[in-house]
Structure 1
Amino acid sequence: MWPLLSPLAFVLVMSFGLNRLSLQGAQALFWAFCAAMGASMANIFVIYTDTSIVRVFLVTACMFAATSLWGYVTKANLLRFSSFLMMGLFGLLIAGLVNLFLKSPALYYVYSIVGVFIFTAFSAFDAQRIRVTYPQLAAYEGPEMTAKRSVYDALSLYLNFINLFQFLLQFMGVRNSND
């Protein structure tokens, strides 16, 4: 059970303790989070075929790269969608909790599709947010805080990629025959 819950603990500590952590502490927490996330995702190799995992990983990498690049270069203001994205994220969380009890295949399917859309949008949003806010923050904060924020931004992008991968795997993944 700890591998499933430990990534959440790392995210909470990094989010709420960013001002109190040293740069080295933030970086160490980020790498520890990556290791915990890897441990929590190890079960996908039992559930899905190896070919399916590789295929979905490549699709995820292409989608993430394309949407992040678009978010970075577009002139459209994506930052105005932050409240909609957060509402979508909370709605997704609630739908996931409800479906733990209902176990509805139809809701699971819709949940996966909505998750793909939300984290695709978050990838573009975060890329633009980083491009727009980083120079402003660098001008007002010291180099230590700017570096800590870059670790936090790396965490945001990493979470977008991982969540997009997991939702695409739920949607497109081929399960092992013994599952």
Structure 2
Amino acid sequence: MAQFDALRTGSISGARAAEIDEGLRAHMNKVYGTMSVGMLITFAAAWAISGLATTTDPSLAVGQIGTDTYLTATGAAIYTSPLRWVIMFAPLIFVFGLSAAINRISAAAAQTAFYAFAAVMGLSISSIFLVFTGTSIAQIFLITAIAFASLSLYGYTTKKDLSAMGTFLMMGLIGLIVAMLVNLFLQSSGLAFAISAIGVLIFAGLTAYDTQRIKTEYVAHAAHGDTEWLGKSAIMGALSLYLNFINMFMMLLSLFGQRE
């Protein structure tokens, strides 16, 4: 926060402060723009894949999942075969891989990898179009977007240092992931409800925290002219906010979505 405080209090020269402030706005626009494109890729991929997975023609079906709705061979491979485990954990592997490789690849390669990750995430969550109504998905998405925008705006504008809550939120996130893995085997509806409710709070907090972190990291590195790092930082910042949005959306959908 030191560089950010220096910028805010004016201890950085006026011309340099104005330059950093202008660069910060461009940096945040790139973060939100990259995140938005990733979101578009994810939901387009999820919708397209769900279409390939279902049919209304019984002659093409390998199983029935609803009134006049059948599962195709593609759908059976994605949702009922052992391949589903690969699809489930593929986004997590992508995140770890991109995080580990970010210092060895270019900003352009990192952006391409992010968009590939967004497509894989679309495959992973495509079942929402089979489980929930389209209206419900749209409503929850709108609610999530409004909440996300409000929380991110708070993280960007607040004078309060949110770094202290970062460790607490990360500990909560680790506990949440462990609980989710355990519930894959327990299949407890009560535990699933608790995971979703707590998860919404954790990712809401992370949205504000990550927004402020992205902002302060930009100010710290811009003061030293680390342009290559800043390009990669925008991609990783977009990834952080994207994950917060997707997870908050999925957990709100689990809590309040209307099922088919």
What are the superposed Cα offsets for residues 30-70 of structure 1, whole Å, 9 maximum, x if unpaired? Answer: 11111111121111000111111001000000010000101
Query: Hey, what does 1:135 align to over in structure 2?
Result: 219
- Structure-2 separation of matches of 1:4 and 1:102: 17
1:120 aligns with 2:120: no
> Structure 1: which 5+ residue stretches go unaligned?
none
Cα distance, 1:4 vs structure 2: 2.2
Q: Does 1:95 align with 2:168?
A: no
Q: Distance in 2 between matches of 1:48 and 1:90?
A: 28
Identity of aligned residues (%): 47
- Secondary structure of 2:223 counterpart: helix
Q: Deviations over 1:58-110 (max 9, x none)?
A: 00000100001011111111111111011100110111122222222211111
The separation in 1 between residues aligned to 2:159 and 2:229, in whole angstroms, is: 28
Mapping for residues 30-179 of structure 1, pairs under 5 Å: 30-140=114-224, 142-176=226-260
- Structure 1 residue 141, shift from structure 2 partner: 5.5
- What is the correspondence of 1:8-19 to structure 2 with a 5 Å cutoff? 8-19=92-103
- Per the TM alignment, residue 6 of structure 1 is displaced from its structure 2 partner at its CA by 2.1
Where does the alignment leave 5 or more consecutive residues of structure 2 unmatched? Answer: 1-83
- The amino acid across from 2:255 in the alignment is F
* Cα separation, partners in 2 of 1:88 and 1:6, compared to 1, 3 Å: same
RMSD between aligned residues: 1.2
More relative contact order, 1 or 2 (CA 8 Å, 6+ apart): 1
Q: Hey, what's the Cα distance between the residues in 1 that align with 2:179 and 2:147?
A: 24
- Post-superposition CA distance 1:11-45 (Å, at most 9, x none): 11211111101111101101111111112111100
Question: Which stretch shows the higher mean deviation, 115-124 or 10-19?
Answer: 10-19
Determine the structure 2 residue equivalent to 1:25.
109
Using the TM superposition, give the Cα deviation of residue 142 of structure 1 relative to its aligned residue in structure 2, in angstroms.
2.4
Decide whether aligned partners of structure 1 residues 51 and 129 sit closer, same or farther in structure 2, where only a CA change above 3 A counts: same
Greater Rg, structure 1 or structure 2? 2
Q: Could you say if the C-alpha distance between residues 141 and 88 of structure 1 is closer, same or farther in structure 2, counting changes exceeding 3 Å?
A: farther
Segments ≥4 residues shifted beyond 6 Å: none
TM-score by length of 1: 0.94
